[in-house]
Chains A and B, each alone.
Chain A
């Protein structure tokens, strides 16, 4: 009896961990792509993620259709990301590294304040009736949101993988990530590739934002704060610029974070535990999980 209970708890936690890992992965993969091409720590990415949640809410209230809300938010967030690249990062590339980093921080706090001014300081809710139910499967309750998150992440990543590996644009992006100067000499349109990376990464982050908003039924201006840091730490751990590494690190964090909060009594918040884990991992493997020395 006890065994079956603990087994179902384990299964439940595994579902939670997978959903959490998927959310982290959606943030981290965009950050890793962007770092890969520009070598910029894009802290404002968390602002895009929050923007995605707000845009999703806006479109959902406008049309009442989740599909339109998700697609609309992803499109606009993607354009926003591309605009940030064009007008903030591109002019800064020749300057020292700290310049783009500080600008990114500025952009991030500026965006969160903008949401506060536009949508008000109070927490908003995103109640999607179609996703409210859950399945019961041999003692496990799996909510529809969890399925959408894990399935959506899988579908998005499969699409992204196909794009990067099997299209001309993906080839150009890989070339730029390898060496921006050489790519330029080879006649690759570097600016277009970098814009595409920002568009894709931002759209995926917006998807993550909407999913988190539905999962916790909450949208608030500082929802990106902790994610900003976790995402950055994840790409450091994944090995800078490595998309596979970032995804791997995300799921690893999702699982460890869930396990530690369920089975241990560390006197820290859930996020505090995650941060501690990330700090330790960065110290143990500064070059990242998949990075080379």
Chain B
């Protein structure tokens, strides 16, 4: 079987991919700035952690409650966010994440600054699962999330989001109610991020308020932007890449924020669409190669037909 270390890294890559996809629904697809994805991730993680440690609900019984709670949190933060847009919305969502973190730290009910420990492993068929099986669960969840995102992009809702993102006023004029679709985006994106949070909590098995604060939220944003905002492949690539990078290069671990920060600045200067965003240099190069390859194949085929 796979090395235990490799399994751990793969699980983390999957979890961060799901969270990045959640943020991508809100910021990438619907175009609503959100710098506080930690709120939804934390809601999922904390609800699941508390239900499985305080009651005798298992991982699977607690999961629907945790997802519902994070979706509800999305709705709850989405409602006031309707009143503001762009820069004010960015500031407001940073405010949410600070208040959320502060609440978790100061309410002893949630375990205070030390958080919740001894979160049970996920179970399958009554027995706690090994990390290999958990990896399969994470991959399943990621596949489901990717499918949902791909479907959403092509659906009527995805088109509505695109129109709001490009021009809210025009969308309103052609009969798309921006408030309704923004709320859908917040709710769905929050549920995805909450799913990632649940998987995170039952894997690390120990959560603190600081895992879901402003800086972790920024990490998720870096993942999404690095990969390509608004695409589905982009956030997944960004999350996998940035989870892998510190493991591959030790010095990245020591200078993590410096490198992440510099990467963000350089990307914004030279390739704001991200590595795999539509129209980025990687995608353009791939398209050129693909076209060339097709042309070569076509000429070979025509040569084979009538030499």
Contact = CB atoms under 8 A, between A and B. Distances in A.
Interface stretch (B44-52, B122-130, B145-153, B255-263): B255-263
Contact of A268 (B80, B103, B272): B103
Contacts, number: 130
A283 B83 contact: yes
B88 A286 contact: yes
Contact of A286 (B83, B99, B272): B83
**B interface bracket (residues with beta carbon within 8 Å of A):** 35 or more
B214 A106 contact: no
B221 interface: yes
A28 B105 CA distance: 27
A236 B214 contact: no
B86 to A, nearest CB: 6
Interface in A84-129: 88, 91-92, 95-103, 105-114, 116-117
A110 B262 contact: yes
A41 B265 contact: no
Contacts of B56: none
A41 B84 contact: no
Contact of B263 (A97, A106, A229): A106
Given A113-B255, A282-B84, A226 B261 contact: no
A103 B83 CA distance: 25
Contacts of A233: 91, 94-95
Interface stretch (A55-63, A188-196, A271-279): A271-279
Contact of A279 (B99, B215, B260): B99
Nearest to A108: B261
B33 interface: yes
Contacts of A117: 255, 258
A63 to B, nearest CB: 29
A201 B257 CA distance: 25
B98 A226 contact: yes
A236 B90 CA distance: 11
B214 A229 contact: yes
B268 interface: yes
A1 B88 CA distance: 48
A97 B86 contact: yes
B106 interface: yes
A187 interface: no
A108 B221 CA distance: 14
A275 B95 contact: yes
State the main secondary structure of chain A at its contact with B.
helix
B178 to A, nearest CB: 15
Given A103-B268, A105-B218, A232-B91, A98 B102 contact: no
Contact of A269 (B88, B106, B263): B106
B258 A267 contact: no
B261 A101 contact: no
A240 interface: yes
Residue of B90, B94, B95, B257 with most partner-chain A CB within 10 A:
B95
A229 B258 CA distance: 20
A269 B213 CA distance: 15
Contacts of A236: 87-88, 91-92
B176 interface: no
B84 A103 contact: no
B215 A109 contact: yes
B71 interface: no
Given A269-B106, A275-B99, A41 B91 contact: yes
Interface in B103-140: 103, 105-107
B225 interface: yes
B96 interface: yes
A97 B84 CA distance: 15
B33 A98 contact: yes
Residue of A105, A108, A268 with most partner-chain B CB within 10 A:
A105
B304 to A, nearest CB: 48
B138 to A, nearest CB: 27
Contacts of B7: none
Given A236-B91, A279-B92, A112 B257 contact: yes
B272 A106 contact: no
A41 B257 CA distance: 20
Contacts of B256: 113
Interface of A: 35, 39, 41, 88, 91-92, 95-103, 105-114, 116-117, 225-226, 229, 232-233, 236, 240, 267-269, 271-272, 275-276, 278-279, 282-283, 286
9 contacts: A99-B268, A102-B221, A106-B268, A110-B262, A113-B256, A116-B257, A232-B91, A233-B91, A275-B99
Closest 5 CB pairs of A and B: A110-B261, A106-B264, A272-B102, A113-B257, A103-B268
Given A99-B272, A236-B87, 19 more contacts: A41-B91, A88-B269, A98-B33, A102-B225, A102-B264, A105-B35, A105-B264, A106-B262, A107-B261, A107-B264, A107-B265, A109-B260, A112-B257, A116-B257, A226-B98, A229-B94, A268-B103, A278-B95, A279-B96
